[in-house]
Amino acid sequence: MNGKLTLFLDNYGSVVLARNLRQLQQQAGGGRISKMYRDGKNNRAVHIGYVIGSRWFTAYTPFESIE
């Protein structure tokens, strides 16, 4: 995250924009924070977001495509 505006999509379909983990936690209503992982290529775990309380947030960072 590092101060970049990041889009998070939770398990209910709600969109949250946050620049750091503290902002995300506040907008989620508080709760314990855990990292969320998914299996990537070659069965390696890839960090994809956070679990805060009972909500799961998948992180999407903006990027520019060069065509």
Please say if the pLDDT value at position 61 is more than 90.
no
Residue in this structure with the two tokens 């495509």, named with its chain if needed: 65
Domain map (residue ranges) of the chain: 6-60
57 C-beta neighbours (distance < 10 Å), count: 25
Question: What is the torsional sign of CA 19, 59, 1, 56?
Answer: positive
Confidence of residue 20 (pLDDT cuts 50, 70, 90): very high
> Which pTM was predicted?
0.82
Answer whether residue 39 shows pLDDT above 80.
yes
